[in-house]
């Protein structure tokens, strides 16, 4: 089927109009790095500056902002993460939250000092695990999956034992888009008595995540990809309710104190999720996330996932039909059940040509050494855009 027909049959097609237009951009396929702004967010931010900030002034902290990291966290948990209330917060960066969660996880049980992780995980995850290992004496246990695939339950089963503190994995791999079997791997880690910490950066908002149902312990993710929070928007973190009062995070500011305005001599962590908040909540930066959560709820995550898979299948079919002969390889899983929402293509010339693509308003991203990632954001990406991108790649390679 041609792109125009697929767009005509797309039940989510009308959601494209919710996003601000991007003049001169004929195909935006990097929503897996930076999602596009919603029209509603431009308005919300303006209202926030004039209203809650400019007129409410300091009163807005008492009336709404102090609660915002957990209130918006609960919304994200309900709509996107499959998490009941009181387990999700918004704040910091993914980097800082990973540090806090890893430190908390390795401190939980002195008999468990190993962090299991994989060589294909995002650099920040690997660097932080190494940093936490250095400072705490924890050991790293490396899984080495096939770069085109990802970590399997069997690999995890072979690596975990009574010495494992935590298994740190990405739900969707940033390079290959491999979609890990989150429920199976979580269960395997738990059988060995270990915690799991899932990095949801590339899955939140586009792949169903059911943290409570899978009994996940810890999760983090960013909000600027498929949650359209804007460049460098605050991250989100999840800690299962059953663990909250047993975990200690190292960055203890007054915002995580049981009674912050008492400003007393000693730090006493709040009960529940609040103790994981460190600095003053980034109100302006978290505003757009709320709009995208609302849009995801209107569209429904199952419909989003269905379109995501269709977009991916369309890419792969087109590559097979007209780019494979030019040497382009699909570097993502072909099985849609094991693939997130981007498709990575590989070709030795991609490092040269992606800048030319950008110049003509076709915007995927490039990952060393030879990968172009086509990020498919189901609520903003049309099949016609994908077709335009594939046309442009084909022209560049001919």
* Shortest distance (Å) from residue 76 CB to a second copy: 17
Nearer to a second copy, 119 or 271 (CB): 119
Pairing type for strands 164-170 and 114-118 reads: parallel
First to last CA, the chain: 24
Nearer to a second copy, 6 or 376 (CB): 376
Reported residue count of the chain is 398
Q: Which of 7, 78, 109, 122 is catalytic?
A: 122
Residues 6+ apart with CB under 8 A from 299: 12, 15, 378, 379
CA 307 to chain CA mean position, Å: 18
* Shortest distance (Å) from residue 321 CB to a second copy: 27
Cis omega (within 30 of 0) for bond into 319: no
Nearer to a second copy, 95 or 155 (CB): 95
Look up 338 and say whether it is catalytic: no
Nearer to a second copy, 279 or 327 (CB): 279
Q: Which of 199, 217, 291, 365 is catalytic?
A: 199
Q: Which of 19, 224, 236, 238 is catalytic?
A: 224
Look up 224 and say whether it is catalytic: yes
Q: Which of 100, 112, 114, 225 is catalytic?
A: 225
Residues 6+ apart with CB under 8 A from 220: 94, 97, 98, 101, 197, 198, 199, 200, 201, 235, 236, 237, 238
Look up 7 and say whether it is catalytic: no
* Shortest distance (Å) from residue 180 CB to a second copy: 19
* Shortest distance (Å) from residue 254 CB to a second copy: 4
* Shortest distance (Å) from residue 286 CB to a second copy: 8
* Shortest distance (Å) from residue 132 CB to a second copy: 8
For helices 301-318 and 383-397, the axis angle rounded to 10 degrees is 20
CA atoms within 13 A on the CB side of 84: 9
- Interatomic CA distance for residues 325 and 16, integer angstroms: 33
Nearer to a second copy, 128 or 182 (CB): 128
Name the percent of the chain in helix, strand, coil, to the closest 5: 45, 15, 40
Look up 122 and say whether it is catalytic: yes
Look up 127 and say whether it is catalytic: no
Nearer to a second copy, 167 or 222 (CB): 222
* Shortest distance (Å) from residue 233 CB to a second copy: 7
Please give the C-alpha separations between residue 32 and each of 8, 87, 202, 249, 318, in angstroms, as whole numbers.
24, 25, 7, 29, 20
Q: Name the strand (E) or helix (H) holding 344.
A: strand 342-346
* DSSP category for residue 20: P
Burial of residue 265 (CB within 10 Å: 0-12, 13-18, 19+) is exposed
Nearer to a second copy, 186 or 223 (CB): 223
Q: Give the residue numbers annotated as catalytic, written as ranges.
A: 122, 199, 224-225, 373
């Amino acid at each position: 089927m041609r792109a125009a027909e697929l767009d005509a049959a797309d039940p989510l097609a009308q959601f494209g109009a919710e996003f601000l237009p991007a003049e001169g951009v004929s195909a935006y396929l990097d929503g897996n790095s930076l999602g596009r702004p919603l029209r509603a967010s431009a308005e919300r931010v303006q209202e926030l500056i004039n209203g809650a900030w400019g007129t409410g002034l300091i009163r807005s902290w008492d009336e709404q902002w102090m609660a915002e990291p957990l209130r918006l966290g609960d919304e994200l948990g309900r709509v996107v993460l499959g998490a009941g209330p009181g387990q999700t917060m918004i704040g910091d960066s993914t980097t800082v939250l990973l540090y806090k969660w890893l430190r908390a996880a390795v401190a939980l049980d002195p008999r468990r000092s190993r962090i299991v992780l994989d060589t294909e995980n995002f650099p920040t995850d690997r660097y932080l695990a190494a940093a936490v290992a250095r400072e705490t004496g924890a050991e790293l246990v490396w899984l080495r999956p096939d770069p085109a695939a990802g970590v399997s339950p069997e690999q995890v089963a072979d690596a975990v034992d009574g010495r494992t503190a935590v298994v740190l994995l990405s739900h969707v791999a940033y390079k290959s888009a491999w979609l890990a079997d989150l429920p199976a791997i979580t269960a395997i880690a738990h059988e060995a008595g270990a915690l799991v910490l899932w990095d949801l950066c590339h899955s939140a908002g586009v792949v169903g995540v059911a943290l409570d149902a899978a009994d996940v312990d810890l999760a983090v993710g960013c909000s600027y990809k498929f949650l359209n929070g804007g460049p460098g928007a605050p991250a989100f973190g999840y800690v299962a309710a059953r663990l909250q009062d047993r975990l200690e995070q190292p960055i203890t500011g007054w915002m995580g104190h049981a009674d912050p305005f008492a400003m007393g001599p000693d730090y006493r962590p709040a009960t529940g999720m609040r103790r994981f908040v460190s600095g003053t909540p980034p109100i302006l930066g978290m505003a757009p996330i709320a709009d995208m959560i609302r849009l995801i709820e209107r569209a429904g995550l199952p419909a989003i996932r269905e379109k995501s898979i269709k977009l991916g299948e369309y890419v792969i079919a087109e590559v097979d039909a007209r780019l494979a002969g030019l040497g382009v390889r699909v570097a993502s899983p072909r099985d849609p059940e094991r693939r997130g929402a981007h498709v990575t293509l590989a070709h030795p010339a991609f490092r040269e040509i992606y800048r030319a693509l950008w110049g003509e308003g076709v915007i995927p991203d490039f990952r060393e050494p030879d990968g172009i990632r086509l990020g498919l954001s189901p609520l903003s990406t049309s099949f016609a855009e994908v077709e335009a991108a594939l046309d442009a790649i084909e022209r560049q390679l001919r």
